[in-house]
Every structure is written in C-alpha cells, then in structure tokens.
Amino acid sequence: FCGLKDKQAVTTQWFSLPLPPKHPPHTDPDWFAALPNGVRVVRWAPHRKKIRRGIHQGNRFTLVIHGVTGEDAGFDHRLATLNQHGFPNYFAEQRFGHQGGNYNLLHKIAAIPAEQSASISRADRNWGLSTLRAELFNHCLSQRLAQRSDVLAQVGDLAQLAGSHSRFLVTVEELARTQTRLGEGDVALTGPLWGEGASPAGGDIGLNEAVIAHQIMAQLGRENTPTYWPQHLAAWRVEHDRRLLRAPLSDLQSTWLDVADGRQLQLSFTLDAGAYATALLRELIDLSPDSGKA
C-alpha cells in the first residue's frame, strides 16, 4: 500500500497482494472471505507491479467538524487565501505517535552507541528517522514563519518547481526572478529532511538549518549531545531530502450545516502525498481541548 491512513477515518485506498499466476481473471481471490469486519473490497484488478510506499500523487479528504461555536467574519476570506497560497506544511501530531510516544523511541536509539547502529531494528530505525526529521523540519518551518520568510525567497534557498521534484539553488542572480515565480505559483520554497553531512541549502539558509539540526539532535541525543545522531545518519547512509514549506491544496469546498447539537462544518479538499489535513485545520479553526470551542 502507498501509506498509512488515520486510525479513526473511513478510508479508501489501493493495496497490492500476491495472486497465483493461473488465477481465473473474473473470479474473486480466496482471501476476500478472510477480510475483517469493516473492510470491503470496492474494486480489484490484476497488475504486474506491486504498489510501493509513497508513489501516490495525493489524497482526497472529506472532514466533518461537529459542535462548531462562535462566529468568524474572516473565515471565508481565510479559506480563499489558503486555497490560493497553501498552508504551513507541518508534520502533524500523528507523525510523533500516540501522545508523542515516538520521542521515547528517539531517546532509546540515542542511547545506543553509534558503532552499534546495525543492531537497531529496521522498524525502530525507520520510525526514529521519520520522527527526527519531522521534528527538525517543523522547527525550521516555525522559524521561517516567525520571520515571515516562508514565501520570501533568499539566497541559498532550494526552490522546487511546481508539479515536480526538480529543485534549484537560489543565487543572487536568480533571486528577483525566483520571487516573481513564487508569486505566480511556478515554484515553491523547501525545508530540510535531514540526512548525512551538511545541508544542501546555501548561505544563511543552510547555516540556520545546520544550527537548528545541531540543537534538535542535541536535545534528542545521548547525554544531551548531538554526536550519536550524525553518526547514525552516516552509518545508515541517510540522504538529505526536502519538503515544501507550504502545502498546496485543490478542490477546496466548505459547507455549513445546522444540526440539533449546533453547527457542523464539512470540508472537502485534495492534498499532495505527505501533507496533513490536521495541519490545514489548525489554520482555520481552534481545536484545542481547553478552548471550549471549535
């Protein structure tokens, strides 16, 4: 399958499962009968290739928020702005495990000497790496937002072409043109998914990312030092990657419904693979437990 889905959601996605070579083409596979309650096959078809993680282009969401209280005259305007310019592409709380449990895994890994990196299970390594990189990215994104530079190109930025993963380093000569292309939606700025060695970004951008990486790896490292994490990254040959600072969305629709227990807000939209619907929600409504409102 392409990726994990929300535990509480009703989801539809493709899975790939082995099929005997001579299986009759119009006969349901035997494992249909073994599916658990609540799982239904909508459609199936033979295919030559197995689905790989992360190859899907995006996800379509329909969310219903119950018990909405309060009035917001600027809600529709904010909705239109997000639809046009996207939203901060934070890794949401799901990435960090139930009640932040993945941080415990990071400290567990950090307690293992770097020369014993090979002893860490693949599952722990993958979850640990994804949590570490997400934490680091979120801090870099928060800094850019605080500086109001998430949509302001700087020398040393790595910009990504819209609709592709092609990137280029922003130079002094290209700075003005890149800013124009940002406004046109032709390119977008990226933040770090940390790996082995120095950041591929340049100038002050690369330096700031390196400072944040050092701080985060120290906080989550062994005995409050960053030493082990860079060594683990090197031992596992983890390559640097990038993630958009702002997540684009499309097909955004909103509907207000008056029901017995108050108002409901229904939102429908499409996000690229890897973007979180809850990160969009935080830009629209207050879902904090102590707020007394949604």
Is 6 one of the catalytic residues? yes
6, 72, 76, 251: which one is catalytic? Answer: 6
d(Cα 197, Cα 236) in Å, to the nearest integer?
A: 12
- Report the mean per-residue pLDDT for the chain: 86
Q: What is the pLDDT of residues 23-55, one digit of tens each?
A: 777 777 877 777 888 888 888 887 878 877 766
- Let me know: does 216 contact 160? Beta carbons within 8 Å: no
Enter the CATH code of domain 92-246: 3.30.2340.10
What pLDDT is recorded for position 290? 55
Mean pLDDT computed over 233-240: 92
Residue 42: partners with Cβ closer than 8 Å, 6 or more residues away? 12
Residue 254: partners with Cβ closer than 8 Å, 6 or more residues away? 76, 79, 265, 266, 267, 268
Q: Calculate the CA 149 to chain-centre distance.
A: 20
pTM of the model: 0.85
Domain ranges of the chain: 58-84+248-281, 92-246
Mean pLDDT computed over 129-141: 96
Q: What is the pLDDT of residues 66-123, one digit of tens each?
A: 888 776 777 888 888 899 899 999 999 888 988 888 888 888 888 888 788 888 899 9
Backbone angles phi, psi at 211, to 5 degrees: -65, -45
